[in-house]
Amino acid sequence: MPSERLLIIEDEARIAQFVERALIYEGYRVSVARDGQSGLQSARDNPPDLVILDWMLPGLDGLEVCKRLRAASSVPILMLTAKDDIKDRVQGLDAGADDYLVKPFSVDELLARVRALFRRATPVSKPEVLRFADLTLDTGTHRAYRGERSIDLTAKEYDLLELFMRNPRQVLTRDVIFDRVWSYDFGGESNIIEVYVRYLRQKTEQGDEARLVHTVRGVGYVLREEE
Ligand code: CA
């Protein structure tokens, strides 16, 4: 039985109760906060192993709560949202959310997302310095370098680059990239990977620096040197 402690921050009593019961039934320990302010307080007083955070909260909204939680810890954050708009999701990711669940959702879906987040939150491994061509990535400091040039990455850009650098010269399919970097479904039409690969290229391929992240048309991407 799992014994992880989850914090639910949700103002709608019906949904909070539904989620709480499902998690307790699975053996998780659960706390519930009804607004952002008390949720942050609860997270400070008794740090949870995972936070389920509603986007639409009175007062401090979910996005702001997410930013503040993320500033203080690396606890996995699953956001609940009625907004199914891609811009909102990107905004949430930039705020530090790890995954999304769009309302209405099923118990099974909720539990699957929670399990997936716990699987991803594996114990912190020893910092390593990954190298490919003249690209360097320090997993301890999350700094990247192209030659001597230091590159500032957002959290998701870092995750994407780390995935490439741990699997050099291997074609990574869109599905693999989704699963490893986002772990939720943006739908078939989504261009989130293209958007983030573009961000990554803008940062890692400046001036006359050679292309390293190559597109494999219709399949995905590969980190390799120019042929
Ligand atoms: Ca709400």
pLDDT of residue 184: 53
Predicted local confidence at residue 95, as pLDDT: 85
The answer to whether the beta carbons of residues 101 and 117 sit under 8 Å apart is no
pTM equals: 0.56
Residue 55 CA to ligand 1 centre (angstroms): 6
Q: Estimate to the nearest angstrom the gap between the alpha carbon of 99 and the chain centroid.
A: 6
Q: Would residue 45 be called left, alpha or beta, if left means φ above 0 and alpha means ψ between -120 and 50 degrees?
A: alpha
| Mean pLDDT, 10 residues at a time, the chain of 227 residues | 84 94 89 96 94 94 94 91 74 84 90 88 76 94 92 88 95 88 59 91 94 95 91
**How far is the centre of ligand 1, averaged over its atoms, from the C-alpha of 10 (Å)?**
6
- Report pLDDT for 1: 44
**Which DSSP state fits 172?**
E
* Widest CA span in the chain: 58
pLDDT at res. 125: 66
Q: What is the pLDDT of residue 153?
A: 87
Q: 11 with 34: CB under 8 angstroms?
A: yes
Cα of 1 vs centre of ligand 1, distance in Å, is 30
**How close is the Cα of 219 to the center of ligand 1, in Å?**
38
Backbone φ and ψ of 36, nearest 5°: -60, -45
Q: How far is the CA of 18 from the centre of ligand 1 (A)?
A: 14
CA of 61 to the centre of ligand 1 (A): 9
Q: Domain 129-223 class?
A: mainly alpha
The pLDDT of residue 142: 85
Q: How far is the CA of 123 from the centre of ligand 1 (A)?
A: 32
220 Cα–ligand 1 center, Å: 37
Beta strands of the chain (E only): which ranges? 5-9, 29-33, 50-54, 77-81, 99-102, 129-132, 135-138, 143-146, 149-151, 171-173, 213-216, 220-223
Architecture of domain 5-121: 3-Layer(aba) Sandwich (3.40)
Ligand 1 centre from 45 Cα, in Å?
Answer: 23
Q: Tell me the C-alpha to C-alpha distance, in Å, between residue 77 and each of 69, 97, 120, 132, 216.
A: 9, 5, 12, 31, 32
pLDDT of residue 202: 96
Where along the chain do its domains lie? 5-121, 129-223
pLDDT at 176: 87
CA of 108 to the centre of ligand 1 (A): 21
The reported pLDDT for the residue numbered 2 is 54
Question: Which pLDDT score is estimated for 222?
Answer: 97
- In angstroms, what CA-CA distances link 202 with 10, 108, 223? 38, 39, 15
